[in-house]
Structure 1
Amino acid sequence: MKLSFLEPLYKQSGPFASVYLDTSRDAAIEDPDSAIRLRWRRLQDALASEGADRDSLAVLAGTVGSDTEVPGTHGQAVFTAQGHMALLDELPAPPARDTAHFGTLPDTMPLIVQHAPGIPYLAVHVHYGGRHSTDATGSVRIEAEAGTWPLTKVTPGHRLDEEIPVADWPRAAGEVGRELEGHARRIDVETVVVAGDVWARGILVHRLPASLRRQVTTVEDAGESEPGRALLERRLESLFHGRMAAHDRTLLDAFLAERARDGAFAEGLAPSVSALQRGRVKALFLNNHPESPFRLWIGPEPGQLALTEQELRSYGIRETSEERADTALARALVGTRAELVVVPEQELWLSEGVGVLLRYADPASGG
């Protein structure tokens, strides 16, 4: 997963306030706005106790819960820098718990994890309920959305909505297919999910360009999508559960190959930090442990991180602070333009929950 979306945040100077809040407005919540205000007051008190300034608290108070147009279960991630809004992002799922932090670095790992697996896809729903014949009356309606899973749950992708007479459908399906191909190319989709009437969708699939046709997965019982949410959301949830994006899978396979031959890889916190210090990391692999006790010392620059304060000072770095390891690692990855792959522990257990694929092997050490 590329982390370029966080570069504007890290270009700003701290201190940072970082807030993760459940802002769900689903039918199960009787008065969601009151619930959000109550949760925010608790976080506000926590931030104040950590030394958050009035400007930061005022900006946050005016922002949290502002996503009233987003339906269903979701959350917000809000960041300020020196009392100004720095980043606002919708979370496709509520955070495991509401949290707030004020400190030297923004707490971005929970946001990064919610962007995973980051699968680019195209969802297509073919609506038709008439006779399976081109001389029937009525029309075929096409809904399509190009997006990245799971972000499309709360951040709609590019939409297509067309209605075509049944008699014109065999010809028009080819035109629709070429239009869909254009949307797919823009985000380099790896899966095309098609639902709806078997006859009408079959005509569309057979007229798709070959590049798209090879990526098609058909699903049944799609139902109606909730306004403001991802097209075919429930079916996509089932289809993509536990799946990695193809790009991340390629990186993981490369890591495993290098580890098997003791090549360009490192595993464990200390070797991974050492590689990040030298800008050698192509991708970092993480078993996500939000409550991990590991901490690191950092300096002002992304590559300035170490297990001890003494090590940083030995490099001539005088401005140091101790931070949670995941917070320091996130900044280092963004600053060195390395990628992050979140790997379920049951799929690959990593020593101390972390490993790295190196840009090149060290001839002196073989790793």
Structure 2
Amino acid sequence: MDLAFLHPLYEHPGPWASVYVDTSRHAEDDSHERRLTDEALSRELSGQGADDATCRAVREALEELRLSPEPPGRALFARAGGVVLDPPLARPPRRDSARWAPLPHTAPLLELAGEDPVCVVAYIDRKGADFELRGAPDRRDAGSVSGRQWPVQPVHRTSTVDWSERQFQLKVENTWEHNAGEIADALAVAQEETRADLLILVGDDRARRAVRERLPGRLADLVVDAPHGIGSRLLDEDVEQARAEHVRRRATRELERFRAARHPDAEGRSTAVEGVPALVEAAREHRIDELLILPDGPDAHREVWIGEDPDQLAVRRTDLGILGEQHSWSARADDALIRSAVATGAPALSVTPAAAAAREEAPVGGLGALLRWS
């Protein structure tokens, strides 16, 4: 997950209100029930020490969510009487929550908003293709491409041995090849324009294979074949299955990289760390290349100490004094490490989709990192 969109949260000091709400039930709940929920979240913040102005800003933002169609969920981050960031969520949180703390509680975003692959579905035949952009929760047309319509006769192969028919068959083959190239070029452009994470090919085996072979090599890992043949529009569950599998493969691939990087090289150096003390040291030195988090891991909510700047963090409060920081606050380890990752441009990834099948590869305690250097 690219964390750049979180920069506004770290341009101001805390404390912060972090609220996660399930908006998928808004159509079912009546206005009175939603109002009670909003007030309960505001009271929860107040009980944790939030100021009245920030509680009011959160309550007003929650009221606005009731007035317009929403994605499955929404996160709100507020301070000093104003909402600073309110990213949509790709899936609803397990429960509505409100937290008041020195740092914004951003770790849940890795699962709720982080891995939400956008797909271009290509419905392919021998004459062209229609493209459809699919994501959670919407779909829309993404253009089409028409290939060469020559020869005029129906485009199909023939078993005749007549020489003229063989010439015709060769022309048909050439037309297929030309059209596959046109479709592949258009699909590559569609991916670049939409920044799609996944390309789903729908069509008969030969048409899909011809297009796949002509796509740029950089797209090879993004292409999957649909479970149905030509002529059928993909159901939402088909797309969701492809999206979930893509997320699982991505997490598995990163865990495999992490496992390989764990092992020291010939000089005894490794480019992966795990556990809070090692991660804190790597974050202070700006060595984290990618942060890996298992949100339910025991180290995720372990207490660390932070200063005003992202690289001012320590396992013990006294360590911050040694580093020259005069002010310190306790914070969750996952939130403190995400702040450091944002400051240094490192991405973060929830490894939950792969950890169930590869528990031994997951970082010990649920927190790990691939390093820029050992």
Output one character per residue of 1:123-175: Cα deviation in whole Å (capped at 9) or x when no partner.
2457xxxxx999xxxxx9945116xxxxx314x587425698xx899899876
Unaligned runs of 5+ in 1: 127-131, 135-139, 147-151, 226-230, 362-367
Residues 163, 119 of structure 1: CA spacing in aligned structure 2 closer, same or farther, 3 A cutoff?
A: closer
Match of 2:22 in 1: 22
Matched, 1:279 2:325: no
What amino acid sits opposite 1:268 in the alignment?
A: G
Match of 1:10 in 2: 10
Q: Highest CA radius of gyration, 1 or 2?
A: 2
What amino acid sits opposite 2:366 in the alignment?
A: G
In structure 2, distance between residues paired with 1:217 and 1:95: 31
Moved more, 58-67 or 17-26: 58-67
Show the 5 A alignment for 1:226-245: 232-241=235-244, 243-244=246-247
**Aligned match for 1:160, one of 120, 142, 167:** 142
Residues 220, 68 of structure 1: CA spacing in aligned structure 2 closer, same or farther, 3 A cutoff?
A: farther
Match of 1:88 in 2: 86
Residues 203, 354 of structure 1: CA spacing in aligned structure 2 closer, same or farther, 3 A cutoff?
A: closer
Residues 183, 41 of structure 1: CA spacing in aligned structure 2 closer, same or farther, 3 A cutoff?
A: same
What amino acid sits opposite 1:287 in the alignment?
A: L
Q: What secondary structure, in the 3-state scheme, does the structure 2 residue paired with 1:109 have? A: coil
Residues 205, 263 of structure 1: CA spacing in aligned structure 2 closer, same or farther, 3 A cutoff?
A: closer
Shift of 1:37: 2.5
Identity across aligned pairs (percent)?
26
Q: What TM-score, normalized by structure 1, do the two folds share?
A: 0.76
Output one character per residue of 1:175-216: Cα deviation in whole Å (capped at 9) or x when no partner.
665433212124554531134xx56x9768745781179624
Show the 5 A alignment for 1:1-367: 1-25=1-25, 30-31=28-29, 33-64=31-62, 65-66=65-66, 68-70=68-70, 74-119=72-117, 121-124=119-122, 142=130, 144-145=132-133, 152-154=135-137, 156=138, 159-160=141-142, 178-186=185-193, 189=196, 191-195=198-202, 198=203, 206=210, 210-211=214-215, 215-220=223-228, 232-241=235-244, 243-244=246-247, 251-261=254-264, 263-289=270-296, 292-344=300-352, 345-346=355-356, 347=358, 348-361=361-374
Kindly indicate whether the alpha-carbon contact (under 8 Å) linking 2:78 and 2:84 is maintained by their aligned counterparts in 1: yes
Kindly indicate whether the alpha-carbon contact (under 8 Å) linking 1:285 and 1:341 is maintained by their aligned counterparts in 2: yes
Residues 162, 257 of structure 1: CA spacing in aligned structure 2 closer, same or farther, 3 A cutoff?
A: closer
Output one character per residue of 1:206-248: Cα deviation in whole Å (capped at 9) or x when no partner.
45781179624123399999xxxxx853212222335447766
In structure 2, distance between residues paired with 1:349 and 1:141: 41
The structure richer in helix per residue is 2
Kindly indicate whether the alpha-carbon contact (under 8 Å) linking 1:143 and 1:162 is maintained by their aligned counterparts in 2: yes
In structure 1, distance between residues paired with 2:229 and 2:305: 52
Residues 70, 293 of structure 1: CA spacing in aligned structure 2 closer, same or farther, 3 A cutoff?
A: closer
Shift of 1:302: 0.6
In structure 1, distance between residues paired with 2:10 and 2:232: 40
Shift of 1:23: 0.8
Kindly indicate whether the alpha-carbon contact (under 8 Å) linking 1:281 and 1:358 is maintained by their aligned counterparts in 2: yes
What amino acid sits opposite 2:263 in the alignment?
A: A
Unaligned runs of 5+ in 2: 156-175
Residues 358, 47 of structure 1: CA spacing in aligned structure 2 closer, same or farther, 3 A cutoff?
A: same
In structure 2, distance between residues paired with 1:221 and 1:100: 47
Moved more, 31-40 or 48-57: 31-40
Kindly indicate whether the alpha-carbon contact (under 8 Å) linking 2:305 and 2:331 is maintained by their aligned counterparts in 1: yes
In structure 2, distance between residues paired with 1:289 and 1:158: 35
In structure 1, distance between residues paired with 2:126 and 2:247: 40
Residues 172, 211 of structure 1: CA spacing in aligned structure 2 closer, same or farther, 3 A cutoff?
A: closer
In structure 1, distance between residues paired with 2:315 and 2:332: 11
Moved more, 85-94 or 258-267: 258-267
Q: What secondary structure, in the 3-state scheme, does the structure 1 residue paired with 2:104 have? A: coil
In structure 1, distance between residues paired with 2:74 and 2:57: 14
Across the aligned residues of Structure 1 and Structure 2, the Cα RMSD in angstroms comes to 3.8
